[in-house]
């Protein structure tokens, strides 16, 4: 049991200066004052309400847990990730997936990695499939993967309008998403299809085609890398306005500025998420499609974007949306207690220093995993 005292809490809206009682992996109570009299074995942490504030742990919906890459040969494969590196930058929930390479990397290894993250304390889920279509799965059937494997919450990342994909059509994408949706209904999940958006001229045309007859709710698609180029971003804005759909930005140098512009354009950030693409490859190709450079994506993108948004004058309530509450909703992880600090939700939260925005405490499912920037003892 753990008691946090005198913390300004954003969940994700500001709810005041509160005490938070944590029992096991869940938030048991949030109140103005919680008495500790008569409670044995209770650890208490005290905070300065003028110098600290708490937000839910970040939700990273696009991570290559077992590495990615390989577009330039075997030597360009990127490394696997560790839960420690994600925890150190405030990420307490991740969704792992395969990308270009579903030959030398497989879903069983990905699932095992996600379970290792869970054993360590983070929330972790995976997607079946990869860039290729028809998709590869664990059981041989995407519906069985989603229904029978708790960690599988959808399909992805399926390459759309990209030279490394399978040129999937709107009709094929619709069929894939409808199978995902029905399987998720049976499993009590949301069911999402993460679409890797490439540079090809078709851009988001297959997604618009997949939902045009009204039989498939657009909420089941998450087009990612949406700020890859200006024309693709324009179509992403149209996707939000016309379909009330979600779009996902990959954290980069200009992401916070793009988010500020999107907020001005759309009026809010209720359908905008940010993911790191952590440990995936960042390839650069010439005009002929030849690989000229490849690097691995960092895992701290959400933390950097959150801080930059605050520094640009955005409120904590707004800044937390694209890195926590929106991805939790878009991915359906709110069903598992992520995206808010609330009674019954996962005790996964972050405490920041108001003055310098340093991350001073990370709780992951009730465990103190980072304290003042140092990994806490896990014994």
Residues 39-82 pLDDT 10s: 667 889 999 999 999 999 999 999 999 998 887 888 888 899 99
277 marked as binding residue = yes
**Average pLDDT of the residues in 85-89:** 96
In this predicted structure, the answer to whether residue 276 has a pLDDT above a threshold of 70 is: yes
Backbone conformation region of residue 343, classed left if phi is above 0, alpha if psi is from -120 to 50, else beta = beta
pLDDT > 70: what percent of the chain?
Answer: 98
Q: Tell me, what's the pLDDT at 238?
A: 97
Q: Which CATH superfamily is domain 58-336 in?
A: Metal-dependent hydrolases (3.20.20.140)
Domain 2-55+339-375 belongs to what topology? Urease, subunit C; domain 1 (2.30.40)
Q: Tell me, what's the pLDDT at 39?
A: 67
220 marked as binding residue = no
Residues 279-299 pLDDT 10s: 987 777 777 777 787 788 999
**For the chain, which residues make up each domain, given as ranges?**
2-55+339-375, 58-336
Q: Tell me, what's the pLDDT at 110?
A: 98
163 marked as binding residue = no
212 marked as binding residue = no
**Average pLDDT of the residues in 245-251:** 97
In this predicted structure, the answer to whether residue 379 has a pLDDT above a threshold of 60 is: no
**Could you confirm whether 141 is annotated as catalytic?**
no
Which residue, chain included where needed, has tokens 């839910």? 56
69 marked as binding residue = yes
Q: Tell me, what's the pLDDT at 290?
A: 77
71 marked as binding residue = yes
Q: Tell me, what's the pLDDT at 208?
A: 98
Give the CA-trace dihedral at 138, 140, 143, 147, to 10 degrees.
-50
100 marked as binding residue = yes
Pairing type for strands 43-46 and 2-10 reads: parallel
pTM value is 0.94
CA angle 132, 135, 141 (to 5 degrees): 175
228 marked as binding residue = yes
67 marked as binding residue = no
Select from 109, 101, 192, 182 the least CA-distant residue to 147: 182
Lowest model confidence (mean pLDDT) among 162-166, 180-184, 334-338: 162-166
List 277, 286, 300, 377, catalytic entry: 277
**Average pLDDT of the residues in 153-173:** 95
**Cα–Cα distance for residue pair 336/150, rounded to 1 Å:** 11
Q: Tell me, what's the pLDDT at 87?
A: 96
Bridge partners (DSSP) of residue 283 are 294
């Amino acid at each position: 049991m753990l008691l946090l005292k005198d913390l300004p809490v954003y969940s994700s809206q500001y709810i005041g200066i509160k005490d938070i009682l944590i029992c096991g992996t869940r938030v048991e109570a949030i109140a103005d004052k919680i008495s500790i009299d008569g409670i044995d074995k209770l650890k208490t942490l005290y905070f300065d309400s003028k110098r600290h504030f708490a937000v839910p742990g970040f939700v990273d919906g696009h991570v290559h847990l077992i590495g990615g890459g390989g577009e330039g040969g075997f030597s360009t494969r990127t490394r696997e990730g560790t839960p420690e590196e994600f925890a150190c930058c405030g990420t307490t929930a991740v969704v792992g997936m395969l990308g270009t390479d579903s030959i030398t990397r497989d879903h069983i290894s990905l699932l095992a990695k996600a379970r290792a993250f869970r054993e360590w304390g983070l929330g972790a889920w995976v997607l079946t499939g990869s860039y290729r279509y028809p998709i590869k799965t664990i059981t041989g059937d995407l519906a069985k993967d989603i229904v029978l494997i708790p960690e599988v919450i959808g399909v992805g990342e399926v390459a759309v309008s990209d030279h490394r994909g399978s040129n999937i059509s709107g009709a094929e994408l619709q069929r894939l998403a409808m199978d995902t949706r029905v399987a998720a209904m049976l499993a009590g999940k949301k069911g999402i299809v993460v679409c890797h958006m490439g540079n090809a001229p078709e851009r988001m045309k297959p997604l618009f085609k997949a939902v045009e007859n009204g039989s498939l709710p657009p909420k089941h698609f998450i087009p990612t890398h949406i700020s890859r180029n200006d024309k693709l971003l324009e179509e992403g804005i149209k996707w939000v306005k016309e379909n009330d759909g979600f779009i996902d930005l990959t954290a980069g140098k200009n992401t916070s500025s793009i988010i500020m512009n999107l907020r001005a354009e759309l009026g809010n950030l209720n359908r905008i998420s940010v993911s790191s693409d952590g440990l995936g490859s960042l390839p650069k190709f010439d005009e002929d499609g030849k690989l000229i450079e490849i690097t691995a994506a960092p895992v701290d993108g959400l933390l950097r974007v959150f801080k930059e948004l605050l520094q640009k004058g955005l409120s904590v309530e707004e800044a937390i949306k694209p890195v926590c509450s929106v991805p939790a909703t878009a991915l359906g992880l709110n069903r598992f207690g992520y995206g808010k600090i609330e009674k019954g939700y996962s005790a996964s939260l972050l405490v920041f220093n108001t003055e310098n925005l340093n991350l001073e405490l990370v709780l992951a499912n009730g465990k103190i995993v980072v304290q003042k920037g140092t990994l806490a003892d896990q014994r």
